[in-house]
């Protein structure tokens, strides 16, 4: 048996995460196992989408986070890492300056990726471990700055599109009716050829909603269960959702627009349920890094 350790750093619009994963090679099989996940609530989207650039305060926080991640990778004896930034840094006027500053202060090299590549990496995860790959899925990953939609047929990516509809944008009224309409049209156009479509949902909000519904990991979340939770959450204040439901402060506000987006997608696609495999960009990054390292060897 051969054990290798890799790390993936996902610099999103609502938070920054680092996943450390064990990759086990044994008798011709490769198994990916999550080892540790660290999440830092730095909401870069509020800077990027409202002001157009990352504030000095948050640049310092990013640098400090990356220094900490570097130390953690040393402790875990990580072989290699990838650090990808998505829509917040992608759209910031000083995005390139930020990644240069981070490299100087922490040694961590960040790559800014576009929405198309983000969708591709996410859809390369192990989403079919818990669901039937024979089904047709609309894979939806809801982030703080963007949402990636991918049609998966027989386990293969058929269509993919990224829209600037994210939870941080939504709570700051940063999504126009035109963008909503384009998303609706794209979903309807690309799902109409299939007789039955199921949703695959990823992202912190749908993971939390699935958990709150007390549903088993391999069971989907129905439209009616999600709508009931959305109605319940809507009747509570931001503070009540934190105190009574135990939501983190940076989850309590974005979970509502996320639920609304999933409900809309269910209606537009004609799907009745959402499977929640609890994977995301960082999981796809680990697999991408492993392929890169394997090719080099």
pLDDT in tens, 196-214: 999 999 889 999 999 999 8
Evaluated on CA atoms 115, 120, 125, 130, the torsion sign reads positive
Domain(s) labelled CATH 3.30.420.150 in the chain stretch across: 127-278
pLDDT at 157: 82
pLDDT at 127: 63
pLDDT at 130: 56
Architecture label for domain 127-278: 2-Layer Sandwich (3.30)
pLDDT at 197: 95
To the question of domain 2-114+282-296 being in CATH 3.30.420.40, the answer is yes
Q: Is 27 left (phi over 0), alpha (psi -120 to 50) or beta?
A: left
Contact (CB, 8 A) for 168 and 49: yes
Tokens of 193: 């050829």
Domain(s) labelled CATH 3.30.420.40 in the chain stretch across: 2-114+282-296
pLDDT in tens, 47-98: 999 899 999 999 999 999 999 999 999 999 999 999 999 999 999 999 999 9
Stretches in the chain below the pLDDT threshold 70: 126-131, 297
pLDDT at 216: 84
Tokens of 160: 């993919």
> Rounded distance, CA 206 to CA 276, Å?
7
Model pTM? 0.89
């Amino acid at each position: 048996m051969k054990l290798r350790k890799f790390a993936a750093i996902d610099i999103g619009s609502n938070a920054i995460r680092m996943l450390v994963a064990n990759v086990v090679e044994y008798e011709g099989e490769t198994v990916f196992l999550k080892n540790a996940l660290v999440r830092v609530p730095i909401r870069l989207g509020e800077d990027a989408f409202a002001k157009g650039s990352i504030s000095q305060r948050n640049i310092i926080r990013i640098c400090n986070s990356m220094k900490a991640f570097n130390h953690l990778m040393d402790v875990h004896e990580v072989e290699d890492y990838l650090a990808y930034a998505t829509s917040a840094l992608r759209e910031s006027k000083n995005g390139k300056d930020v990644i240069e500053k981070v490299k100087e202060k922490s040694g961590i090299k960040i790559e800014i990726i576009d929405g198309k590549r983000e969708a591709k990496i996410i859809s390369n995860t192990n989403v079919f471990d818990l669901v039937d790959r024979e089904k047709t899925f609309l894979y939806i990953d809801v982030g703080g700055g963007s949402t990636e939609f991918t049609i998966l047929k027989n386990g293969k990516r058929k269509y993919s599109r990224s829209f600037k509809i994210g939870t941080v944008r939504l709570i700051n009224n940063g999504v126009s009716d035109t963008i909503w309409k384009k998303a609706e049209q794209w979903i309807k156009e690309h799902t109409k050829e299939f007789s039955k479509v199921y949703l695959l949902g990823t992202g912190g909000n749908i993971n939390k909603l699935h958990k709150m519904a007390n549903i088993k990991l391999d069971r989907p979340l129905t439209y009616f269960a999600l709508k009931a939770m959305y109605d319940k959450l809507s009747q509570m204040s931001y503070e009540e959702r934190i105190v009574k439901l135990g939501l983190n402060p940076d989850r309590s506000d974005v979970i509502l627009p996320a639920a609304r987006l999933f409900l809309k997608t269910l209606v537009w696609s004609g799907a009745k349920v959402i499977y929640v495999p609890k994977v995301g960009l960082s999981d796809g990054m680990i697999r991408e890094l492993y392929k890169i390292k394997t090719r080099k060897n």
